[in-house]
Chains A and B, each alone.
Chain A
Amino acid sequence: MNTSETSQSIHEQIVTLLPRLRRFARNLTRNPHDADDVVQIAVERALTRLDQWRSDARLDGWMFKIVRNAWIDELRSRGRRAKIFLAAEAGEIVGTDSMARETELLSVQSAMARLPADQREAVSLVLVEGLPYREAAEVLDVPIGTLTSRLARGRQALQALLGTEGEDT
């Protein structure tokens, strides 16, 4: 009885987390379709592994970690997809990225999208999701010093891109 009640509430806790999981996944994948796919896979995985979740641990951190691992798995399986893409590129018109870079005032999201993946993950977990350093390092499976140096570099890059100096937004 007790276990089914507990797991029932975990389902609803995960439902409550869904908006944040999607947001984190979007920052990882930079693509909303991929993000939803990865969240779905992660939720399905999490539910089959509830026994691995220590109830004293934060559920959000645990779920972020599963989302991230699902994305890493997906990237691995994209070796073949890359070939399909390359073939498709033949008839592809090249984007106007450099032009946009000059004329577009960067939004926070597009500045984030330009960060290298490791910095983007660190920034996303700490600045967007509000995880303490220790939890964020745990999600990323790195020592805390690695997390803080990625975070510092990510912040520097964002400040350069956004020109936060003296802004009051």
Chain B
Amino acid sequence: MTISDEILMAYADGELDAAARAAVESAMREDPQIEKRVAAHRTLRRRMQAAYSVELSEGVPERLLRAARAGTSPPQARVVDLQDARAAMERAESRSRPRWPQWRIAGTIAASLIAGVGLGFFMWGQTQAPLMRSAGGALVARGQLAQALSKQLAAEQSRSSAVQIGVSFRAKSGDYCRTFALPGAVSPSGLACLHGEEWQVQTLTQEPGTVGGSGYRTAVSGMSELVLKSVEGQIDGEPLDQAAEKAARQRGWRSMDR
């Protein structure tokens, strides 16, 4: 009598009715191979549960607890609604704007990340001073970083460049913005927009590009989720292609209509 692997699996998962269970059990008695296959299914099940039980004892972020308890105290307007209303006012064609809340709080996260990452950044900067905090409190690119943001084209840079430029785009504010990464041990990345004469760093993060240390890269590329979400929040239309990037540089990253 042959028993399919799916039946053995269902047996190990406790999904069979009494008659089918009895059939499997008698087959197991007759054939040690079948017993072994059932044991393998059980081992895998135990192993999966053990490996994933740790996550259950992790603390849950406050924002999720708040979301779950929303409305139990007097109802408040949710951030999502406020933002949607604002977006609708900003521009009629914002219909395709993704409803993805994290980048809406990216500003807050960015501020704390700047605080956290900043130290390593400035220490790294002792020799090269890539960043400086301006009098107005904004983080402003200096030195090599500013140079790269103004001059370097993504298509022409070499992998050994001290600054790697990622995406360039026109923001809804009308400013041009570019993402950047500084390769190396600290490996911060961020988004800067040219405002007036200064490249203001909007988002700065330190993203190892791997999850849980298990060695696979974040969803699609090494680009930080946080930076990506800032881009999504600010981009007007599509990222610049090679030709548009070059043209924008020639104009000194000034908009044509301003």
Contact = CB atoms under 8 A, between A and B. Distances in A.
Contacts of B15: 132-133
- By size class, the interface of chain A is 35 or more
B74 interface: no
Interface of A: 7-8, 11, 14-15, 18-20, 22-23, 26, 29-34, 36-37, 39-41, 43-44, 47, 73-74, 77-78, 80-85, 87-93, 95, 97, 100, 104, 107-110, 113, 123, 126-128, 130, 132-133, 148-149, 151-152, 155-156, 158-159, 162, 164-165, 167-169
A7 B157 CA distance: 57
B47 A169 contact: yes
Interface of B: 5-6, 9-10, 13, 15, 40-41, 43-45, 47-52, 55-58, 60-61, 63-65, 67-72, 78, 80, 96, 98-102, 154-155, 157, 159, 164-167, 179, 181, 183, 209, 211-212, 214-223, 225-226, 228, 231-232, 235, 238-239, 241
A151 B50 CA distance: 18
Nearest to B221: A85
B71 to A, nearest CB: 6
A117 to B, nearest CB: 12
A84 B231 contact: yes
B101 A84 contact: no
A39 B62 CA distance: 12
Given A15-B65, A84-B239, A34 B219 contact: yes
A95 B183 CA distance: 14
Contacts of B164: 91
A148 B219 contact: no
14 contacts: A11-B71, A19-B60, A26-B55, A31-B211, A73-B99, A84-B223, A87-B154, A88-B223, A90-B155, A91-B157, A92-B223, A95-B209, A128-B49, A155-B41
Contacts of B68: 11, 14-15, 18, 43, 47
A87 B164 CA distance: 12
Given A41-B99, A108-B47, A152 B5 contact: yes
Contacts of B216: 30, 97, 110, 113
A127 B48 CA distance: 6
Which of A44, A87, A133, A155 gathers the greatest number of chain B CB atoms within 10 Å? A87
A73 B218 CA distance: 19
A166 to B, nearest CB: 9
Main secondary structure of the interface of B (DSSP, over half): mixed
Contact of A11 (B49, B61, B72, B218): B72
A127 B46 CA distance: 8
A43 B211 contact: no
Contact of A22 (B9, B48, B60, B71): B60
B44 A95 contact: no
A47 B228 CA distance: 29
Contact of A88 (B96, B159, B167): B167
Contact of A148 (B10, B43, B50, B228): B10
B133 to A, nearest CB: 26
A30 B214 CA distance: 11
Nearest to A40: B67
A7 to B, nearest CB: 8
A40 B63 contact: yes
B69 A44 contact: no
A47 B71 contact: yes
List of 3 A-B pairs having minimum Cβ-Cβ separation, nearest first: A108-B51, A110-B214, A77-B98
Contact of A36 (B61, B155, B219): B61
Nearest to B9: A152
A23 B64 contact: no
Contacts of B64: 18, 22, 36, 39-40, 43
B56 A20 contact: yes
Contacts of B41: 155
